[in-house]
Amino acid sequence: AQKITQTQPGMFVQEKEAVTLDCTYDTSDQSYGLFWYKQPSSGEMIFLIYQGSYDEQNATEGRYSLNFQKARKSANLVISASQLGDSAMYFCAMRVRGTGNQFYFGTGTSLTVIP
């Protein structure tokens, strides 16, 4: 069975500090993609970053980077220089090619940036 686990229901970080949001995944498939989405209080789901299972380098998008450790099956999101606008729910998701391209979402982590 495919599964995404986010063990941190809530996180706090001081403004301008870096924060890591944890995500572990479980799949026996070799071909998969890992995604992070941000959901602010306004409700929209915003795509942040993507990592393919065959990508050798960690993905980066501006202040976001994905710490991909394939052997540990982890795909942690690192946000550098936190801003107040980063306060939101963050969802980790996995797409597995062998399952008809279905997405599996984690339960999310609520991040609060403290001024």
Partner 1 sequence: DAGVIQSPRHEVTEMGQEVTLRCKPISGHDYLFWYRQTMMRGLELLIYFNNNVPIDDSGMPEDRFSAKMPNASFSTLKIQPSEPRDSAVYFCASSLNWGTQYFGPGTRLLVL
Binding site for partner 1 (CB under 8 A): 33, 35, 37, 43-47, 50, 91, 93, 95, 97, 100-103, 105, 107-108
How many Cβ atoms from other residues are within 10 Å of residue 73's Cβ?
Answer: 16
Which C-beta is closer to partner 1: that of 88 or that of 93?
93
Cβ at position 36, least distance to partner 1 in Å: 11
> Using CB atoms within 10 A of its CB, is residue 24 exposed (0-12), middle (13-18) or buried (19+)?
middle
Instruction: Find the shortest distance in angstroms from Cβ 114 to partner 1.
Output: 24
Q: Toward partner 1, which CB reaches closer, 44 or 56?
A: 44
CA distance 18 to 100: 36
Query: By C-beta, is 1 or 71 nearer to partner 1?
Result: 1
CB count in 10 Å sphere of residue 15:
13
The DSSP element (H or E) to which 36 belongs, if any, is: strand 32-39
Least spacing, CB of residue 115 vs partner 1, in Å: 27
